């Protein structure tokens, strides 16, 4: 079993990149509007997102409740740390089951031709197992976002 990183060690992180054939403002709205989040948030085993709350301001929070096919509920929340409309979101990330494990997510949105390059960086994981689980979750979520927005491809 992996031990958590100490303060002097770099904690695990992951970076995912996608290109969407959608405008930056459309990608932004997918991340910041509750009704849009309900349509794509969570990996493939998530069958419903009954709760998506967004208070889009510095210090404001978000909360998302997801339901898996087996009925298990998963709830995540955090606080917005940086907001640059149509370009960047930085927020804390914590599961209701492990509130002491706070990590950080940065979503960067850049115009690219007639589309958008999205870079998602999730940092400060408790350990490699947490990172690997989130890699699965974010990868599946981004596939669903591709369906919602149309035309994405993995770039790394």
8 Å CB contact between 95 and 65: no
What distance in Å separates the CA atoms of residue 124 and residue 119, rounded to the nearest whole number?
Answer: 17
Q: Which two tokens stand for residue 99?
A: 């509130």
Task: Inform me whether the pLDDT recorded for 5 exceeds 80.
Answer: no
Please name which of 92, 113, 116 lies closest in space to residue 30, comparing C-alpha atoms: 116
pLDDT digits (tens, 9 = 90+) for 48-103: 999 999 999 999 999 999 999 999 999 999 999 999 999 999 999 999 999 999 99
Q: What is the pLDDT of residue 150?
A: 79
Q: What is the pLDDT of residue 9?
A: 65
- The pTM score is 0.90
8 Å CB contact between 50 and 35: no
Task: Inform me whether the pLDDT recorded for 1 exceeds 50.
Answer: no
Four-way CATH pick for 14-154: 3.30.530.20, 3.40.640.10, 3.30.70.1140, 2.60.40.1120? 3.30.530.20
pLDDT digits (tens, 9 = 90+) for 110-150: 999 999 999 999 999 999 999 999 999 999 999 999 999 97
pLDDT digits (tens, 9 = 90+) for 6-34: 454 689 999 999 999 999 999 999 999 99
8 Å CB contact between 120 and 107: yes
8 Å CB contact between 43 and 137: yes
């Amino acid at each position: 079993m992996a031990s958590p990183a100490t303060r002097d060690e770099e904690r695990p992180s992951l970076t995912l990149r996608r290109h969407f054939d959608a405008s930056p403002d459309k990608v932004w709205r997918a991340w910041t509007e509750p009704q849009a989040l309900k349509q794509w948030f969570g990996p493939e085993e998530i069958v419903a997102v009954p709760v998506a709350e967004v208070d889009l301001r510095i210090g404001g929070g978000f909360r998302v409740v997801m339901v898996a096919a087996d009925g298990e509920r998963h709830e995540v929340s955090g606080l917005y740390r940086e907001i640059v409309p149509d370009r960047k979101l930085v927020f804390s990330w914590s599961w209701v089951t492990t509130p002491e494990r706070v990590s950080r997510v940065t979503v960067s949105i850049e115009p690219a031709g007639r589309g958008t390059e999205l870079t998602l960086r999730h940092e400060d994981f408790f350990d490699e197992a947490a990172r690997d689980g989130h890699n699965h979750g974010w990868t599946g979520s981004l596939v669903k976002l591709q369906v919602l927005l149309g035309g994405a491809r993995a770039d790394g």
